[in-house]
Structure 1
């Protein structure tokens, strides 16, 4: 079971939903009508959780596959609309439906009381079971889950498994990680003795990793707690009712068994060849998006930084105060929060694509830091430069344009270069909203191949080559400016 999600994202989404539109949603439910009018069912999911949802290459193209994807296809078919899959970090799927980015979320979601406070749920379309993964060599040591009491148990952060382990294994040390692949790696290396995980996911790991074994968790009311349901925004009664009709059809025809069997074939195909060369196009696409975000964010960040520093240095308080406030707020809050706010917050007003929202958020963040870098460069110059320029008739604007800024940029070039490199690396946070950058692709490849380390090494090498090349290029221009 996946983590319950980034509560911060949900909090931001809930805040942005407070308004006339949100208040009228429950009174006037047009959720189903809206989907039919647009002709598209937008589904939020996180393709790093096979066999529920993952990605594979079919005829040279990347496709979303898995049990949840097939359920989504059937719902869209019954509604008579097209299906649009919105891939994002699992922590963002509930925020996506709360802010209208998606109509429904299908991402291996278990129904919990906490989630019911934020979203509406359909009937369960699948019921599995809870298990523990252990190292096969420890089967005699831990033949049943009861033997795990007092041991080290790993679970996914904020997940149902975490809640269950905390409740029923309160004498054990329960540690959390964000990704299942990291938990498996920790298990293999002896960092934890067992990993709490859902039965279908555990079965897939055991089938493709001969070092692992699976034991039943033995939790009370296991079948009820393990149910998977579709989520929609609060008050989406008509849409949930339509979804329930599709689920009734799926269960009547026992299609979930067929869906899982088909998903298993894709899992087997991915596991047959786990060479990183097979996934070169994943890393290549991640490289392109990461580079695009960094270049555009720095370009617009410099323009915004220039504007902010001019405002901050202005004698007019009406200009200097807003600029100062903006810089302090941006520098005082995490970039992840800013990315979520731009994507989900502005998403209530403008339907921004994830990539566009990511570029805007990173550029807005970079602009604040660039402003301070430029201000530092300006303040480092002798005041006599300004006095000399004005003495020969230069206006304040011309003095800044032709005398101060050229010298300031020459002095701050190394700092701007460092900012570029920082943006290149820190922009990886945009993967949380589904931007297919290097980190996003890394998690997809890890999920598809069941390999924890190799994809990390590949991405680390790519980042190093990018930053090394960029550093050499920036140093070249620095030497050229010093020579001039």
Structure 2
């Protein structure tokens, strides 16, 4: 009887050890980060009305990065101008949108390695036959750009325009250019090109000869000093660049 009790005790002890050994592996789940993205940045981030979810290049990129780096994401719809405030107040953990890396923003937040690079595009009315190779060619005119973007800062810094109007979205800019409310609109070149390709507007033209003055990198954005999240993001970016996943995402959204 004593031997049986000892044997049972030994068995229970062995099971306990096994459970303790296995518990950490089974209990550790992949972290989930809340990612802020806009609903108006086609094709980088936009609201798919069929699924009522945010989709786009930067959504696919952060999802692929998370898979490669071992974390999950939850996408939260946020207006562009509210992205950094939402990040700094911890309403979101990461920004994944068509947000260019700038010195001013670097003072407030930290940027990951580059995901995609581009500059601004210029759109005018189709019946406007002027040649516009730079911002300077629109001196004295009323122009527009999306609020919170680096393009607004660049236009205001020029100080040569009659007025610089700000808009919530590229679609709003295109509307006012078509209606003649502003002379020209500036915005993310891939976004303008994509929108005009998918929804042609005979009243508008994307100026082919225009040379962007704000060239930059689109990156994931984290709170200042959040090195842990930043390291995970950069590790994931390196992996999806190396295995070709990022190139496939860029091709999928037709912005190469």
What is the TM-score normalised by the length of structure 1? 0.43
1:190 equivalent among 168, 180, 184: 180
In the aligned structure 1, how far is the partner of 2:46 from the partner of 2:142?
A: 29
1:49 is displaced (CA, Å) by 0.9
1:437-448 to 2 correspondence within 5 Å? none
1:89 is displaced (CA, Å) by 2.0
- The 8 Å contact of residues 66 and 260 in structure 1, kept in 2 or not, is answered as no
- The 8 Å contact of residues 126 and 256 in structure 1, kept in 2 or not, is answered as no
2:153 equivalent among 136, 152, 163: 163
Structure-2 residue corresponding to 1:42: 34
1:104 is displaced (CA, Å) by 0.9
In the aligned structure 2, how far is the partner of 1:212 from the partner of 1:264?
A: 20
Greater radius of gyration (CA): 1
State the number of aligned residues.
Answer: 224
Give 1 or 2: higher strand fraction: 2
Residue 94 (structure 1) aligned with residue 87 (structure 2): no
In the aligned structure 1, how far is the partner of 2:122 from the partner of 2:173?
A: 12
Structure-1 residue corresponding to 2:137: 147
Over 3 Å counting, the alpha-carbon distance change for 1:86 and 1:171 in structure 2 is: closer
Greater relative contact order structure (CA < 8 Å, 6+ sep): 2
1:93 is displaced (CA, Å) by 2.0
Deviations 1:336-369 (A, max 9, x none): xxxxxxxxxxxxxxxxxxxxxxxxxxxxxxxxxx
Residue 55 (structure 1) aligned with residue 47 (structure 2): yes
1:240 is displaced (CA, Å) by 0.7
In the aligned structure 1, how far is the partner of 2:39 from the partner of 2:250?
A: 15
Deviations 1:106-154 (A, max 9, x none): 121112223222221112210012210111211x223533532222211
* Unpaired segments ≥5 residues, structure 1: 1-35, 266-484
1:75 is displaced (CA, Å) by 1.9
Residue 125 (structure 1) aligned with residue 96 (structure 2): no
Over 3 Å counting, the alpha-carbon distance change for 1:192 and 1:80 in structure 2 is: same
1:362-441 to 2 correspondence within 5 Å? none
C-alpha RMSD of the superposition: 2.4
Give 1 or 2: higher helix fraction: 1
Deviations 1:167-221 (A, max 9, x none): 346245322223322221110111111101111011023212232211254244x
Residue 213 (structure 1) aligned with residue 202 (structure 2): no
* Unpaired segments ≥5 residues, structure 2: 1-27
- The 8 Å contact of residues 81 and 147 in structure 2, kept in 1 or not, is answered as no
